[in-house]
Amino acid sequence: MAFNAKEPITTAVAVADDIRHIAGTNASIVFVSGNFNILHPGHLRLLNFAADCGDFLVVGLTDDSNPGAFISQDLRLESLKLVNVVNYAFILRDPVEEFLNLLQPHIVVKGKEHEACYNLEQPVVESYGGKILFSSGEVRFSSLDLLQEEFRATSFSLFKKPIEFSRRHQFENKSLVPVINTFSALRVVVIGDLIVDEYITCDALGMSQEDPTIVVTPIKEDLFVGGAGIVAAHAAGLGAHVSYFGIVGNDKTAAFVGQTLADHGVNASLVFDESRPTTLKQRFRANGKTLLRVSHLKQHDISQALAAELLEQLAPQLEIADLVIFSDFNYGCLPKSLVDKIISHCTKLGVPMVADSQSSSQIGDVSRFKDMLLITPTEHEARLALQDSTSGLVVLADTLCRKARAKHVFITLGAEGMLVHSPHSAKNVLETDELPALNMLPKDVSGAGDCMLTSASMALVAGANVWESAFIGSVAAACQVSRLGNLPLTAKELKEALAR
């Protein structure tokens, strides 16, 4: 728990003396400064890194007069006090280089993005023999607090809404219910890679006597439409009129897809590709855990002839669409030439577009989807698109936003929640904020991103602002991960969750 500068300690000299007194003579002092408007996972990673560099971590919080400080200094300081690795937090009212000359910490830590810039602190720190280290922290759970919260969640409801986020952006959860009611007027077009998920529930028999192999026997099989197919099903379940366009193989799995999408209320146009099977992913599970995944797929781009056929079928629906969703898994349904033609067509028509490009390996580039209303990469996918493994999350989001010319970027962070970046927000308001994960003990996370993308993008085109839309998307994802298997979320379920 952080020590706090007690009033009337207001002068820089008094604060420096207080820090040295509390830290002790032999302690290695580490110093970090900044606005810290919202403590998102990127900040927590930086603070964890800084804490590991010495014995006593001091955070100087810039006061309200500093450019970019949108949240009051008292609220920002209160948030910093809750970070367990911070030993001392105070409001920095003087130029940082002047305070450093007084305190003379052993190490000053700054974000990796500052390494190539001129840093005012550098001459002062070097003058007394200190060091400046640049890092954005490690990609891991951000803090012990986060891990402890995950364990504490077992004692309470698994579904926890962040009241602070709603307050910051001046909306009430229940007030978002009418947004969901407007979804029924939307015409949504979805295009992308179709996946069928098969869950094979097994009874674990034990270890083989012949070799160290786990032996199971299948007792139940369940099939679900996934990938871009579940995105379309989510949109239909939420009330929209949905047209889906995708590629399948000429096999019995394709027949299952067609029937299932029809049952979900999706008008599906499936183009047969003789060069590939319908993508099928099998999960062998026992005792609530996945033991093995087997993927039956081909990842080459579809032929020019099939791309032309898809575009021909797609074009009439674009003329009447309110939203186009690209759901890319890099399995070949969306070659660049086809994507560029669809984007060009939608731009001329003024149709909003959103995109997600999932990259489980080193293949994929979400930034190829230009001029989107929203893109929703994971942190790995964002770093892959930019070939950037070191920048902090906010810098990462902003760079990706500019490269892709996207209006909004949501970087999903798994158990750490989601970073919402909206550089087109009104002046003098937050451009970046964080939403924690709302369900700390999910049963199946495989469909969370698809559900979030669908509901958040529909909320945006229905008139909700970016913060309201992000919240709706997070609530939808929390609903989705509370159950096993890819089942479409319904408007009724989402409204009930928001109204709780």
pLDDT of residue 213: 87
Q: Has residue 98 got a pLDDT over 50? A: yes
pLDDT of residue 428: 56
Q: How confident is the model at residue 482 (pLDDT cuts 50, 70, 90)?
A: confident
Q: Are 223 and 256 in contact (CB under 8 A)?
A: yes
Gap between the Cα atoms of 251 and 271, Å rounded: 12
pLDDT of residue 136: 79
- Average confidence (pLDDT) over 448-474: 96
Q: Look at domain 3-149 and name its CATH class.
A: alpha beta
pLDDT digits (tens, 9 = 90+) for 121-136: 999 999 999 999 999 7
Q: Has residue 144 got a pLDDT over 60? A: no
Q: Has residue 150 got a pLDDT over 80? A: no
Between 217 and 242, name the one with better pLDDT: 242
CATH 3.40.1190.20 is the classification of domain 157-194+225-275+312-499:
yes
Q: Has residue 156 got a pLDDT over 50? A: no
Q: Which two tokens stand for residue 444?
A: 């199946």
pLDDT of residue 86: 94
26-40, 206-220, 343-357: segment of lowest average pLDDT = 206-220
Region(s) of the chain under CATH 3.40.1190.20: 157-194+225-275+312-499
Sheet hosting strand 56-62, strand order edge to edge: 3-4, 88-92, 56-62, 29-34, 107-110, 131-134
Q: Has residue 316 got a pLDDT over 90? A: yes
Gap between the Cα atoms of 418 and 395, Å rounded: 15
Gap between the Cα atoms of 434 and 455, Å rounded: 18
Q: How confident is the model at residue 427 (pLDDT cuts 50, 70, 90)?
A: low
pLDDT of residue 268: 97
Q: Exposure pattern of 128-161 as b/e (b: 16+ CB <10 Å)?
A: eebebebbbbeeebbbeebeeeeeebeeeeebeb
pLDDT of residue 139: 55
Q: Has residue 438 got a pLDDT over 90? A: no
Q: Are 359 and 386 in contact (CB under 8 A)?
A: no
Region(s) of the chain under CATH 3.40.50.620: 3-149
pLDDT of residue 164: 85
Between 71 and 146, name the one with better pLDDT: 71
Q: How confident is the model at residue 402 (pLDDT cuts 50, 70, 90)?
A: very high
Q: Has residue 6 got a pLDDT over 70? A: no
186-190, 343-347, 448-452: segment of lowest average pLDDT = 448-452
pLDDT of residue 9: 60
